Chains A and B, each alone.
Chain A
Amino acid sequence: MALTPEDLKNLRRQRLISRAVAVPLSFFVAATARLRFRYGLADAARLRTEIWAKLDAHDGPVIWAANHLTLIDSFLVYWAIFPMSRVLEDRLIPWSTPEYTNYYKLGGPFKAGFIRALLYCCRCVPFLRGGEDAASEAWRQKAYDKCVWLLRQGGSVFVYPEAGRSRSGWFEARRPKDFLGRMALDVPNAKILCVYLRADEQLATTVRPPEGSVFRVHCDLIEGARPGETNPREVSQRLFDRIAALQNEWWRDCPHPKNCAGNDAVDLKAPLLQENFSEDLSDADPEWLERHLTPRELAGLRAKSGADFFRTFWRVFAAKEACHKALARAGLTMPNGAFRELEVDLFRRKAVHVPTGLLLDLRFTDDDEDKLHCLAVLRGGFIGDETAEGDVVWDICEVPPGVSPGAFARERALEFIASCNDELGGPAALALSEDGGLPTVLWRGKPQDWSLTLSHSGRYAACAFMVS
């Protein structure tokens, strides 16, 4: 869909107005960040020196691509990258593509008017992510065409490669979106400014980061489409990989663990597991079910019949327990018995922590007549699926008779970890520490960010850890 002369006229006018107000607006953004929200930037001078050396060496268009956790990320990234001394460099001030429904109808007429005017001056081209109808499709295409036109004019455009805020708080490189690659191919002389910005205390997606947050930023300017590249997915994958690498660099300096996974084993033949079920295992005490399941989970369970009812309940339960451990690793402890704070979707293999909205990936590694073993990953790597190996390694085995299952699970975990890597030098070089109630592997006296998780149930003990 070609842009009409009217569209181009409007874009040129918006560019002119935004250029005129660039200085006061940049002051406004910086002052709001510093004074209203008490935000800070770690090592901003070094970051800006390094990235501007690269930006100055490139006189073509730039696509800004950043991770996305809050509704004000565009402002934060702009503030972090752009020093006041550069705000007259019009070509490099990026155009943004905010979601229309999130920003353009906020509050009463006065507030909405102010926000619209602010977004207009901040070079925003509203985008519509939802809607499959022709009008929505046309809107998306036009917004995309405007971005391409601006880039071809030598300008800069800001996009979020994930096309939305990350619900897990993790930038997942294995799920690239094609539009970034498509944009790079449409403007072959564009370079990509990859940015990973985050505050240490930013766990989940929020409206804005907590007050007083100090942001650490990792960024790099890389090639867009390489000569010979024609496949948008291929280009996107390369760009996603670069942002993921920046993400890993960011986590290296973070005081919190990067890897957050959990597991849970269920011995389906353990007699206590059947206690609240009917004799044929096709139904259960409704009060007991309600203590564990959300109304949506309960509705899903009620659709099951026969012994599948029993098995499905314990699948959901194992998923919740695994998620509980993954969240605890991220510093998010759940009150005892708060099973309904987690909602599991077995079909999509996802679970959501209701209070924070954090989304976790699920995977059942063992699901047979005797046992279940579920993995949950919040962040740190890929959980794996039928087609690709993940970053989580696990082991489940029977507990020898007469042995304490907890102690066995611990010993077995160290043996298993040692067997996975010859460099470790055997299980004797490893130990388990108990930090905040969570097992952490020590290797030669140093704690490892492997997110070890242990579980035992009836005859089985299991462990899992992350190798990313």
Chain B
Amino acid sequence: MAFMRKQAVIEATDINTLPPDEVEKRITAGVKKYATNEANFAQADGNTPYLGQIIGMGIESSNLADITMSIERQFLTKLTTKIPVTDGSAEYKLAPGELGKLRILDGQDALAATPGLSVKMLMDLGHMPSSASYLDKVVSFAYIMACGDGWKMADALKKMTAKAEKLVGTERADAIANVKALAAQARDYDALLADAAKLSAAKQKTYLNDKASCDALDNELNVVLDKIKGHASGGDAAAIAKLRTEEAEVRTRLKMSAAKLRVSKDVAEAAGRRRPIEEQKVAEVRKALQEAVSAAQTLA
């Protein structure tokens, strides 16, 4: 069967023969056709988000899996031997073996929001050696998200201010009320970005929510196990089989929930550790927020 994607023939390269910058360049080039914001794509570096139109490449969510698959197609790795996570499990992890196709397993790309973070993911997974000098240039997922929200706020405020300027009478009064609300929100966010500890505390809240979800699932699992125990003495095979299915479902849910918890834990921790590259990105977005607030105040 011929898939249309196969029209483009890609020569895969052993990822260990390439320096991180080259891997990043190839990853960026690989997503070119999905980038709907050509201007941002043309200036993209390792910290340009794949998604989003304001500072991102404008890739749509329908192509998210294509980003990961584009990476898989371009590189070869020695981590190719599948080892079951537990005995008899269909799930597997990858161990060293013959050079072969690179695979990014389910959930491993959760933090790969930029080409730089994709390279970091490949390093973390052991497909290529870790490079401290390269990673120093990579903005963490936590700050990609935090700055992204800031850019969106600044953009919304700027647009609203520009719109309000052209209005008169009641319409202008209504619009200015909105500008003031947006400016207050932008100011608050600027203050949040200014303080890494505050930002970390805000992200900690998400982590705690995710932890509560995980705990709730643990309770759910305990109830199912208790039901199995309760039915075991009665010998009701059909009921036990049904409960075993339920147990498997809860364990799957728990696994997904734990994966999400790992992401929010990473984000909460990274938000509190601000490195020079992140200081720089935060400064850029704070400047945009402050300019937008200033313009809004002038109008109001």
On A, residues with C-beta under 8 Å from B are 71, 101-102, 104-109, 111-112, 201, 203-204, 206-208, 210, 266, 272-279, 283-285, 287-288, 291-292, 317, 321, 331, 333-341, 354-357, 404, 406, 425-426, 428-437, 442-447, 457
B22-30, B207-215, B268-276 - the one binding chain A: B207-215
Interface hits, B138-191 → A, CB 8 Å? 145, 148-149, 152-153, 155-156, 160, 163, 167, 170-172, 174-175, 177-182, 185
Contact A285 B174 (CB under 8 A): no
Collect the chain B residues with CB atoms within 8 Å of residue A341's CB.
256
Using Cβ atoms and an 8 Å threshold, which residues of chain B touch A354? 252-253, 256
Asked if A206 and B219 sit within 8 Å, CB to CB, the answer is: yes
For A321, the chain B residues whose CB sits under 8 A away are 61-62
Check if A106 sits within 8 Å of B113, measured CB to CB.
no
Decide yes or no whether B2 CB sits under 8 A from chain A.
Answer: yes
Establish whether residues A106 and B212, one from each chain, have CB atoms under 8 Å apart when the complex forms: no
User: Cβ of A335 and Cβ of B107 under 8 Å apart?
Assistant: yes
Looking at the complex, which one of A111, A317, A338, A442 makes contact with B110 (CB distance below 8 Å)?
A338
- Is A288 touching B69 in the complex (CB atoms < 8 A)? yes
Question: B152 touching A437 by the CB < 8 A rule?
Answer: yes
Known: A207-B220, A335-B263, A406-B53. A457 touches B227 (CB 8 A): no
Can you list 23 contacts pairing A with B, beta carbon distance less than 8 Å? A106-B229, A107-B229, A108-B229, A210-B212, A272-B34, A272-B62, A285-B5, A288-B65, A291-B65, A291-B68, A321-B61, A334-B260, A336-B113, A355-B257, A356-B213, A428-B171, A430-B178, A433-B156, A434-B155, A442-B178, A445-B177, A445-B178, A445-B181
Task: From A275, A338, A425, A446, give the contact of B170 (CB < 8 A).
Answer: A425
Q: What chain B residues lie within 8 Å of A445 (beta carbons)?
A: 177-178, 180-181
Q: Is the CB–CB distance between B63 and A107 below 8 Å?
A: no
Contact in complex: B1, A278 (CB < 8 Å): yes
Check B178–A105 contact: CB distance below 8 A: no
Of A208, A279, A435, which is within 8 A of B4 by CB? Answer: A279
Q: Are A278 and B33 in contact (CB under 8 A)?
A: no
A203-B213, A433-B185, A442-B181 known; 14 other A-B pairs, CB under 8 Å? A102-B227, A104-B230, A106-B226, A207-B219, A276-B5, A279-B4, A284-B3, A331-B209, A337-B68, A339-B65, A428-B167, A429-B171, A429-B175, A429-B178
A residues less than 8 Å from B171 (CB atoms): 425-426, 428-429
